[in-house]
Structure 1
Amino acid sequence: MAGTDRSPAQDVPVDAQRSLGELFSSASKDMSTLVRSEIALAKSEVKVSVVNVAKGGGAFGAAAFVGVFAFVFLSFAVVYGIHALGLGVAWSFLIVGGFYLLLAGALGYYGIASFKKVRPPERTITTTQDTITTLKNVG
Protein backbone atom coordinates (compact mmCIF):
# COMPACT_ATOMS: atom_id res chain seq x y z
CA MET A 1 0.00 0.00 0.00
CA ALA A 2 2.57 2.51 -1.02
CA GLY A 3 1.46 6.12 -0.96
CA THR A 4 -1.34 5.76 1.63
CA ASP A 5 -1.62 7.96 4.72
CA ARG A 6 -2.63 5.18 7.06
CA SER A 7 -0.74 4.79 10.36
CA PRO A 8 0.25 1.38 11.72
CA ALA A 9 -2.22 1.84 14.61
CA GLN A 10 -5.08 1.93 12.09
CA ASP A 11 -4.17 -1.56 10.92
CA VAL A 12 -4.63 -2.99 14.45
CA PRO A 13 -8.15 -4.04 15.38
CA VAL A 14 -9.87 -1.67 17.85
CA ASP A 15 -10.16 -4.27 20.63
CA ALA A 16 -6.39 -4.91 20.44
CA GLN A 17 -5.56 -1.26 21.05
CA ARG A 18 -5.08 -0.34 24.69
CA SER A 19 -7.00 2.55 26.17
CA LEU A 20 -5.24 5.57 27.65
CA GLY A 21 -6.25 4.44 31.15
CA GLU A 22 -4.73 1.01 30.60
CA LEU A 23 -1.52 2.57 29.30
CA PHE A 24 -1.36 4.91 32.29
CA SER A 25 -2.01 2.02 34.68
CA SER A 26 0.72 -0.06 33.06
CA ALA A 27 3.16 2.86 33.15
CA SER A 28 2.36 3.45 36.84
CA LYS A 29 3.01 -0.20 37.66
CA ASP A 30 6.27 -0.15 35.72
CA MET A 31 7.36 3.08 37.45
CA SER A 32 6.48 1.61 40.84
CA THR A 33 8.52 -1.52 40.07
CA LEU A 34 11.43 0.62 38.89
CA VAL A 35 11.37 2.77 42.03
CA ARG A 36 11.22 -0.31 44.28
CA SER A 37 14.14 -1.85 42.41
CA GLU A 38 16.19 1.34 42.72
CA ILE A 39 15.45 1.50 46.45
CA ALA A 40 16.50 -2.13 46.89
CA LEU A 41 19.73 -1.45 44.99
CA ALA A 42 20.43 1.64 47.09
CA LYS A 43 19.80 -0.34 50.30
CA SER A 44 22.24 -3.06 49.28
CA GLU A 45 24.92 -0.53 48.32
CA VAL A 46 24.45 1.45 51.53
CA LYS A 47 24.62 -1.74 53.58
CA VAL A 48 28.03 -2.55 52.11
CA SER A 49 29.19 1.02 52.78
CA VAL A 50 27.91 0.95 56.36
CA VAL A 51 29.79 -2.29 57.03
CA ASN A 52 32.98 -0.76 55.63
CA VAL A 53 32.48 2.41 57.70
CA ALA A 54 31.96 0.32 60.83
CA LYS A 55 35.14 -1.67 60.14
CA GLY A 56 37.10 1.52 59.47
CA GLY A 57 35.70 3.19 62.58
CA GLY A 58 36.63 0.20 64.70
CA ALA A 59 40.15 0.22 63.27
CA PHE A 60 40.52 3.95 64.00
CA GLY A 61 39.19 3.43 67.53
CA ALA A 62 41.68 0.63 68.15
CA ALA A 63 44.48 2.76 66.69
CA ALA A 64 43.57 5.66 69.00
CA PHE A 65 43.47 3.30 72.01
CA VAL A 66 46.92 1.89 71.21
CA GLY A 67 48.17 5.40 70.44
CA VAL A 68 47.19 6.61 73.91
CA PHE A 69 49.21 3.81 75.49
CA ALA A 70 52.16 4.57 73.22
CA PHE A 71 51.94 8.25 74.18
CA VAL A 72 52.06 7.39 77.88
CA PHE A 73 55.03 5.06 77.47
CA LEU A 74 56.88 7.54 75.28
CA SER A 75 56.22 10.27 77.85
CA PHE A 76 57.79 8.09 80.53
CA ALA A 77 60.74 7.49 78.20
CA VAL A 78 61.22 11.25 77.81
CA VAL A 79 60.98 11.75 81.58
CA TYR A 80 63.60 9.11 82.27
CA GLY A 81 65.71 10.42 79.40
CA ILE A 82 65.76 13.84 81.03
CA HIS A 83 66.50 12.17 84.37
CA ALA A 84 69.45 10.38 82.77
CA LEU A 85 70.87 13.82 81.89
CA GLY A 86 71.22 14.55 85.60
CA LEU A 87 67.93 16.12 86.74
CA GLY A 88 65.79 14.55 89.45
CA VAL A 89 62.80 12.44 88.49
CA ALA A 90 60.34 14.97 89.92
CA TRP A 91 61.86 17.81 87.86
CA SER A 92 61.80 15.61 84.78
CA PHE A 93 58.07 14.93 85.25
CA LEU A 94 57.43 18.66 85.79
CA ILE A 95 59.28 19.54 82.59
CA VAL A 96 57.35 17.01 80.51
CA GLY A 97 54.04 17.97 82.16
CA GLY A 98 54.76 21.68 81.63
CA PHE A 99 55.55 21.02 77.96
CA TYR A 100 52.22 19.21 77.56
CA LEU A 101 50.39 22.11 79.22
CA LEU A 102 52.02 24.58 76.82
CA LEU A 103 51.16 22.35 73.89
CA ALA A 104 47.54 22.04 75.09
CA GLY A 105 47.31 25.83 75.46
CA ALA A 106 48.69 26.42 71.96
CA LEU A 107 46.29 23.87 70.45
CA GLY A 108 43.38 25.40 72.41
CA TYR A 109 44.29 28.87 71.14
CA TYR A 110 44.49 27.57 67.58
CA GLY A 111 41.10 25.86 67.98
CA ILE A 112 39.45 29.04 69.28
CA ALA A 113 40.97 31.08 66.46
CA SER A 114 39.65 28.54 63.93
CA PHE A 115 36.15 28.66 65.42
CA LYS A 116 36.14 32.45 65.21
CA LYS A 117 36.74 32.20 61.45
CA VAL A 118 33.51 30.22 60.94
CA ARG A 119 30.96 32.28 59.02
CA PRO A 120 27.45 31.53 57.84
CA PRO A 121 27.05 30.50 54.18
CA GLU A 122 26.22 34.04 53.01
CA ARG A 123 26.00 33.27 49.28
CA THR A 124 23.67 30.34 49.91
CA ILE A 125 21.47 32.47 52.17
CA THR A 126 21.33 35.21 49.52
CA THR A 127 20.47 32.88 46.66
CA THR A 128 17.84 31.10 48.78
CA GLN A 129 16.24 34.42 49.68
CA ASP A 130 16.28 35.41 45.99
CA THR A 131 14.63 32.12 45.06
CA ILE A 132 11.92 32.59 47.70
CA THR A 133 11.28 36.15 46.49
CA THR A 134 11.07 34.96 42.89
CA LEU A 135 8.64 32.16 43.77
CA LYS A 136 6.45 34.56 45.75
CA ASN A 137 6.32 36.97 42.80
CA VAL A 138 5.43 34.18 40.34
CA GLY A 139 2.44 33.02 42.38
Structure 2
Amino acid sequence: MTSTTPPYDGGSAADGGVEEQRSLGQIVSDVTQDLTTLIRQEMDLAKTEMKQEVSKAGKGAGLLGGAGVAGYFVLLFLSLAALFALDEAMDAWLAALIVMVVWAVVAVVLALVGKKSLDKSNPQLPQTQQSLKEDVQWAKAQKS
Protein backbone atom coordinates (compact mmCIF):
# COMPACT_ATOMS: atom_id res chain seq x y z
CA MET A 1 0.00 0.00 0.00
CA THR A 2 1.46 3.33 -1.05
CA SER A 3 0.79 6.63 0.58
CA THR A 4 -0.92 9.32 -1.48
CA THR A 5 -0.36 12.16 0.94
CA PRO A 6 1.44 15.18 -0.49
CA PRO A 7 4.97 15.90 0.75
CA TYR A 8 5.26 18.00 3.92
CA ASP A 9 5.75 21.69 3.09
CA GLY A 10 6.38 22.92 6.64
CA GLY A 11 2.92 24.42 6.94
CA SER A 12 2.37 27.95 8.09
CA ALA A 13 1.46 29.58 11.33
CA ALA A 14 -1.90 30.54 9.86
CA ASP A 15 -2.98 26.95 9.14
CA GLY A 16 -1.71 25.65 12.50
CA GLY A 17 1.49 24.11 11.08
CA VAL A 18 5.09 24.68 12.09
CA GLU A 19 6.59 28.08 11.29
CA GLU A 20 8.29 28.13 7.87
CA GLN A 21 12.02 27.45 7.78
CA ARG A 22 14.11 30.47 6.89
CA SER A 23 16.23 30.18 3.80
CA LEU A 24 20.01 30.52 3.95
CA GLY A 25 19.73 33.89 2.21
CA GLN A 26 17.34 35.15 4.86
CA ILE A 27 19.62 33.96 7.66
CA VAL A 28 22.65 35.64 6.07
CA SER A 29 20.62 38.80 5.54
CA ASP A 30 19.46 38.83 9.17
CA VAL A 31 22.96 38.21 10.51
CA THR A 32 24.38 40.93 8.25
CA GLN A 33 21.74 43.38 9.42
CA ASP A 34 22.37 42.45 13.06
CA LEU A 35 26.12 42.89 12.62
CA THR A 36 25.60 46.28 10.99
CA THR A 37 23.42 47.39 13.90
CA LEU A 38 25.90 46.00 16.38
CA ILE A 39 28.85 47.78 14.78
CA ARG A 40 26.91 51.04 14.68
CA GLN A 41 26.06 50.71 18.38
CA GLU A 42 29.68 49.91 19.25
CA MET A 43 30.86 52.99 17.36
CA ASP A 44 28.34 55.15 19.22
CA LEU A 45 29.49 53.73 22.55
CA ALA A 46 33.14 54.29 21.67
CA LYS A 47 32.42 57.90 20.65
CA THR A 48 30.58 58.59 23.89
CA GLU A 49 33.34 57.08 26.02
CA MET A 50 36.05 58.87 24.05
CA LYS A 51 34.31 62.23 24.55
CA GLN A 52 34.23 61.63 28.30
CA GLU A 53 37.90 60.68 28.44
CA VAL A 54 38.98 63.59 26.22
CA SER A 55 37.06 65.94 28.49
CA LYS A 56 38.95 64.65 31.54
CA ALA A 57 42.30 64.84 29.75
CA GLY A 58 41.49 68.35 28.45
CA LYS A 59 40.78 69.57 31.95
CA GLY A 60 44.07 68.16 33.21
CA ALA A 61 45.97 69.63 30.27
CA GLY A 62 44.36 73.03 30.90
CA LEU A 63 45.39 72.94 34.54
CA LEU A 64 48.93 71.97 33.57
CA GLY A 65 48.93 74.85 31.10
CA GLY A 66 47.90 77.13 33.97
CA ALA A 67 50.79 75.71 36.00
CA GLY A 68 53.11 76.59 33.12
CA VAL A 69 51.89 80.19 33.10
CA ALA A 70 52.25 80.36 36.87
CA GLY A 71 55.76 78.93 36.53
CA TYR A 72 56.57 81.68 34.06
CA PHE A 73 55.49 84.26 36.62
CA VAL A 74 57.67 82.53 39.24
CA LEU A 75 60.68 83.09 37.03
CA LEU A 76 59.60 86.63 36.21
CA PHE A 77 59.17 87.66 39.83
CA LEU A 78 62.26 85.78 40.94
CA SER A 79 64.18 87.77 38.38
CA LEU A 80 62.58 90.98 39.59
CA ALA A 81 63.38 90.03 43.20
CA ALA A 82 67.02 89.48 42.30
CA LEU A 83 67.07 92.74 40.40
CA PHE A 84 65.63 94.72 43.29
CA ALA A 85 67.84 92.92 45.83
CA LEU A 86 70.89 93.91 43.88
CA ASP A 87 69.60 97.38 43.26
CA GLU A 88 69.28 98.59 46.81
CA ALA A 89 65.82 98.97 48.25
CA MET A 90 65.04 96.29 50.77
CA ASP A 91 61.28 96.95 50.54
CA ALA A 92 61.05 96.48 46.76
CA TRP A 93 62.87 93.14 46.55
CA LEU A 94 61.05 91.78 49.56
CA ALA A 95 57.71 92.64 47.95
CA ALA A 96 58.79 90.96 44.69
CA LEU A 97 60.00 87.91 46.61
CA ILE A 98 56.63 87.58 48.37
CA VAL A 99 54.79 87.78 45.04
CA MET A 100 57.12 85.13 43.63
CA VAL A 101 56.37 82.78 46.55
CA VAL A 102 52.63 83.25 46.00
CA TRP A 103 53.02 82.35 42.30
CA ALA A 104 55.15 79.35 43.25
CA VAL A 105 52.36 78.06 45.50
CA VAL A 106 49.81 78.62 42.71
CA ALA A 107 52.02 76.73 40.23
CA VAL A 108 52.42 73.77 42.59
CA VAL A 109 48.70 73.57 43.35
CA LEU A 110 47.74 73.75 39.65
CA ALA A 111 50.34 71.13 38.72
CA LEU A 112 49.16 68.71 41.42
CA VAL A 113 45.48 69.13 40.57
CA GLY A 114 46.24 68.78 36.84
CA LYS A 115 48.28 65.62 37.38
CA LYS A 116 45.54 64.13 39.53
CA SER A 117 42.97 64.89 36.82
CA LEU A 118 45.14 63.26 34.14
CA ASP A 119 45.65 60.21 36.33
CA LYS A 120 41.86 59.77 36.56
CA SER A 121 41.40 59.64 32.78
CA ASN A 122 41.18 56.14 31.32
CA PRO A 123 41.77 55.99 27.55
CA GLN A 124 41.23 52.22 27.46
CA LEU A 125 37.42 52.52 27.03
CA PRO A 126 36.44 49.71 29.44
CA GLN A 127 32.74 49.67 28.54
CA THR A 128 33.50 49.34 24.84
CA GLN A 129 35.99 46.54 25.50
CA GLN A 130 33.44 44.64 27.61
CA SER A 131 30.75 45.14 25.00
CA LEU A 132 33.05 43.90 22.23
CA LYS A 133 33.79 40.75 24.24
CA GLU A 134 30.07 40.14 24.58
CA ASP A 135 29.66 40.70 20.82
CA VAL A 136 32.29 38.06 20.07
CA GLN A 137 30.44 35.60 22.30
CA TRP A 138 27.17 36.48 20.54
CA ALA A 139 28.74 35.97 17.11
CA LYS A 140 30.14 32.59 18.17
CA ALA A 141 26.66 31.58 19.37
CA GLN A 142 25.22 32.54 15.95
CA LYS A 143 27.60 30.12 14.24
CA SER A 144 26.36 27.17 16.29
- Give me the TM-score of the superposition, normalised by structure 2: 0.45
